Amino acid sequence: MYDVVIIGSGPGGYVAAIRCAQLGLKTAIIEKYNTLGGTCLNVGCIPSKALLDSSEHFYNATHHFAEHGIEVNGVKANFTQMIQRKNEVVSQTCSGVKYLMDKNKIEVFQGIGSFVNSTTVSVTSSEGVKELQTKHVIIATGSKPNFFPSMVPDKKRIITSTEALSLSEIPKKLIVIGGGVIGLELGSVYARLGSEVEVIENSSTLLGMMDASIGKELAKILKKEGLKFHFDHQVQGVVNTGDKTTVTATDKKGNTVTLESDYCLVAVGRKAFTDGLGLDKLGITPNNRGQIEVNDRLQTIVPNVYAIGDVIKGMMLAHKAEEEGVFVAECIAGQKPHINYNLIPGVIYTWPEVASVGKTEEELKAAGIEVNVGNFPIKALGRARASMDTSGFIKVISDKTTDEVLGVHMISARAADLIMEAAVAMEYRASAEDIARICHPHPTYSEALKEAALGATGNRALHV
Ligand code: FAD
Ligand code: NAI
């Protein structure tokens, strides 16, 4: 008899397993694929960042080295090597999870996990069916790419992020449907490698869920990098014509637009994945978004069955899944953990990076909260001029009455790491004045956060 059986080994599942084991719970984890790590390690965060980093090196070598006085001739992208390196990074990272499972004495079962009842989970693999008895179950089965009937991926020319991470050639032209996180990250990869990239977005901006200032600025920056955007376009159909794809869409005025490309990447969101779990055996019905409903302890309607990560509501982010994994393990062990969902940072790994934590200005206005806003342009930083990464800004939003920082939004080199200063400050309910009074090292990008905080406390920024 196990204390906990976890179905799915993504960042939600494997982190939950480690925390359960640390707390002395006898733990098993079931994964249907041969490698552990889920979407994030196999076909998500890690491979996309590996290709983003490689393509950024290539882009810098071909666009920026000369300005720095570095002359390199005959720079070529060896795409086969890029994909090979990405595969090695993935393989090492997934092996790392296996090592952690063994180290923590977590039993790993390869196969499809399915409920027999609330305390019995079957594992079906090529070796047959095993049944595991358990006191608790954590469902961590994640998500899959979403698509609409007008854009069904054939995984050859009409592709999802999974295929886009393992193409055999750099497309001459790539159409991306969806100007969201995946579209912009993978669109950036191929644009940097020389593909002509056009993004079809059905709304009027990029990244509509973020502070409105971000989408506008990022579109400007990415246009300079060569991406082309078609906003307010509704896709009518996508066809694989053999060695090309044809996308038909209608623009705002109802005109038909036809775009031809080597590949069409469909990146219009992801959907919770529960196929084959046998949820009906427990009387659990996914909601109309396919998600499993949970209460504030992340319990399903069956109290000993929990669900975490992409398969439940909330942001589809690896670190959100991880926090929920730890949270549920601690709940099962009788502790009283807490997650501050307001302070889960979001990062988009374009260059410059985009990062955000807390509320947007639009959300605060809608809630009737009066705010002060400090905005600092990155180009005013000495460090940025030294490295020639001058695009973007940092925006600090604070409460007009109390000066508490309520949101920080940034486009900047190194924003992915910078955002954590804001998150830590906000966790401790810092004021803009608190951040502004902390001595920041010079010359660094972090000075832009201090300057934006000074701006929010009443136009006191020093370098604009
Ligand atoms: P998943 O990682 O999806 O893992 C679920 C696992 O469950 C899978 O391994 C699946 O095979 C397994 N499974 C499903 N059903 C069963 C079953 N019945 N039996 C056994 N096993 C089963 N997030 C970030 O925070 N940062 C990023 O930079 C980032 N980049 C991304 C890039 C891309 C291209 C994509 C697609 C996603 C990215 N994400 C990123 C999102 C991130 O990958 C997910 O939020 C995260 O993986 C969710 O974790 P999870 O544990 O809930 O599910
Ligand atoms: P997304 O929700 O970020 O973006 C989807 C985009 O497609 C939106 O801009 C939306 O307006 C647009 N869209 C929707 N329907 C459309 C249609 N019919 N035609 C044209 N455009 C349409 O989803 P995405 O990019 O697929 O990513 C899925 C999830 O993966 C995200 O929720 C994200 O959290 C996660 N992810 C996170 C990353 C990170 O943290 N850096 C990187 C990649 C993915």
Closest CA to 19 of 226, 324, 289: 324
Q: Among 9, 43, 45, which residue has the most ligand 1 atoms within 8 Å of its CB, making it the best to mutate?
A: 45
Q: Among 39, 181, 198, which residue has the most ligand 2 atoms within 8 Å of its CB, making it the best to mutate?
A: 181
Closest CA to 175 of 82, 269, 51, 258: 258
Whether the bond between 11 and the residue before it is cis, its omega within 30 degrees of 0, is: no
For residue 374, what are its two tokens? 């400090």
Q: What is the pLDDT of residue 264?
A: 98
| The overall pTM is greater than 0.95 | yes
Which parts of the chain register pLDDT below 70? none
Q: Reduced to 3 states, what is the DSSP secondary structure of residue 49?
A: helix
Closest CA to 450 of 458, 459, 438, 463: 438
**Ligand 2 atom with minimal separation from the 178 CA:** 7
By alpha-carbon position, which residue is closest to atom 40 of ligand 2? 347
Distance (angstroms) between ligand 1 centre and the Cα of 38 equals 5
CB of 213 sitting under 6 A from ligand 1: no
Which residues are identified as catalytic? Answer: 442
CB of 113 sitting under 6 A from ligand 1: yes
Residues 6+ apart with CB under 8 A from 60: none
Q: What is the pLDDT of residue 324?
A: 98
Domains along the chain? 2-145+271-339 (3.50.50.60), 149-268 (3.50.50.60), 343-456 (3.30.390.30)
For residue 96, what are its two tokens? 């790392």
Q: How far is CA 464 from the centre of its chain?
A: 33
Closest CA to 270 of 321, 340, 219: 321
Compute the half-sphere exposure of residue 173: CA atoms within 13 Å on the CB side of its CA: 13
By alpha-carbon position, which residue is closest to atom 52 of ligand 1? 309
